[in-house]
Amino acid sequence: MDTTVVKTSAENKRWGGGTEPLKTSYGKMMMWFFITSDALTFAGFLAAYGFSRFKFADSWPIADNVFTHVPFIHGNYPMIFVAFMTFILIMSSVTMVLAVDAGHHMKKAKVTIYMFLTIIGGLVFLSSQAYEWSTFIKGTYGAVATEGGNILHIMDADGNQVALKDFAIAQGSDRERHESRTGLWFTSESTLPSYTFEEVLDGFKANPNLVVRTTYTGEDGHKTTLSRSESLRELETKGKNVVEGANLRQNEYGAPLFANYFFFITGFHGFHVSIGIMLNIIIFFNVLIGTYERRGSYEMVEKVGLYWHFVDLVWVFVFTFFYLV
């Protein structure tokens, strides 16, 4: 009786390391799995943002009125700095492509240069995002919140927004210290507005050229501006308190929900950028000491490159949802 002996080896096993069933290495395949799952997470966040955006479309802040700052330059430059941030991140993705290509050709010097440029691009983007956050939190002009939750911006006769500090009449009275017996708990001086509502109202009355713009969008796509008499009536009957900047409870630019989404989604993306920078730094030093040269492969550069391109692509969607739509 003949016996047939079947010999198996790593070369003949699909998952034994001899062949690659999906024509890619295990590490790159796992990176693709991670990217796919993380993409679904971001998609869920942006979908939730989209639903809220259209539900409160009339009171949602307009990006051109919010993101107007440029470091070291005074004046309003809508979207300029955000466009710069986007350009930097896209260019860092380009340098990553060049690093991967140089790795395929086993050119250590070029991989080192392009990885370094990618790290610099990531750091510049992250620093720019920190600046964007700081200006958003601090605010620019200040506003008045009504009892119904509407935000009122003060405008001059030419349609330009006016900062509260430019017309509010300081009364010089001492602020009441907020303690458990008087009302608010755990309120520090830094969280209180620079002016009281009464000081803003007195200054508004003393300047007849000022009017109020609401956060509600008209049919022309612009925020509704009230007449002088309507502005006075709105402030006197519905004005409640002064709002400066944005946080998780109030937002001088409009709906507080906008600030909540902004902090969470851009912060979550910034966290991914931070992780990417750390990974790039680790890979960069491994390139310097010749780790991948000795292995005969720069595949690790390609793996971290996949992650970096993903971070770049996600920002394109975040940029579109928050700044363009």
Q: How far is CA 193 from CA 63, 101, 176, in A?
A: 23, 54, 13
- pLDDT band for position 189 (50/70/90)? very low
Q: How far is CA 302 from CA 99, 104, 287, 295, in A?
A: 8, 9, 12, 14
Burial class of residue 33 (count of CB atoms within 10 Å of its CB; 0-12, 13-18, 19+): exposed
Q: Which two tokens stand for residue 113?
A: 């240069």
What is the tens place of the pLDDT at every residue in 50-104?
999 999 888 888 888 889 899 988 888 999 999 999 999 999 999 999 999 999 9
- Residue 311 pLDDT: 97
Please, what is the angle between helix 108-138 and helix 267-288, to 10°? 160
* Residue whose structure tokens are 């005969």: 296
pLDDT of 12 strictly over 80: no
- pLDDT band for position 248 (50/70/90)? confident
Q: What is the CA radius of gyration of the chain?
A: 27
Residue positions counted in the chain: 325
- Residue 125 pLDDT: 98
Which helix (H) or strand (E) segment holds residue 55: the answer is helix 26-55
Mean pLDDT of the chain: 87
CA 103/CA 95 separation, integer angstroms = 12
Domain coordinates in residue numbering, the chain: 26-139+257-324, 143-244
- Residue 216 pLDDT: 79
Query: Can you tell me the mean pLDDT for 290-295?
Result: 93
Phi, psi of 274 (to 5 degrees): -60, -45
What is the tens place of the pLDDT at every residue in 304-322?
999 999 999 999 999 999 9
- pLDDT band for position 180 (50/70/90)? low
CA 236/CA 215 separation, integer angstroms = 18
Q: Which of 4-13, 191-200, 256-265 has the highest mean pLDDT?
A: 256-265
CB 140 within 8 A of CB 68: yes
Strands 211-217 and 223-225, bridge-based pairing: antiparallel
Domain 26-139+257-324 sits in CATH at: 1.20.120.80
Closest residue by Cα to residue 121 from 93, 83, 81, 82: 93
| pTM score, whole prediction | 0.83
CA 299/CA 74 separation, integer angstroms = 46
What is the tens place of the pLDDT at every residue in 193-224?
888 899 999 999 999 999 999 887 777 767 88
- pLDDT band for position 6 (50/70/90)? very low
- Residue 181 pLDDT: 52
- Residue 149 pLDDT: 81
CA 207/CA 167 separation, integer angstroms = 7
CA 203/CA 197 separation, integer angstroms = 10
Q: Which two tokens stand for residue 213?
A: 């713009």
- Residue 285 pLDDT: 97
- Residue 186 pLDDT: 47
Angle at CA of residue 95, ends 126 and 267, nearest 5°: 20
pLDDT of 33 strictly over 70: yes
pLDDT of 17 strictly over 60: no
**CA quadruple 203, 221, 216, 77: dihedral positive or negative?**
negative
Query: Can you tell me the mean pLDDT for 109-120?
Result: 97
Lowest mean pLDDT segment, chosen from 105-114, 175-184, 198-207: 175-184
Which helix (H) or strand (E) segment holds residue 295: the answer is helix 291-295
CA 37/CA 33 separation, integer angstroms = 6
CA 244/CA 252 separation, integer angstroms = 6
What is the tens place of the pLDDT at every residue in 263-282?
999 999 999 999 999 999 99
- pLDDT band for position 123 (50/70/90)? very high
Query: Can you tell me the mean pLDDT for 118-145?
Result: 94
Beta bridge partner(s), residue 243 = 143
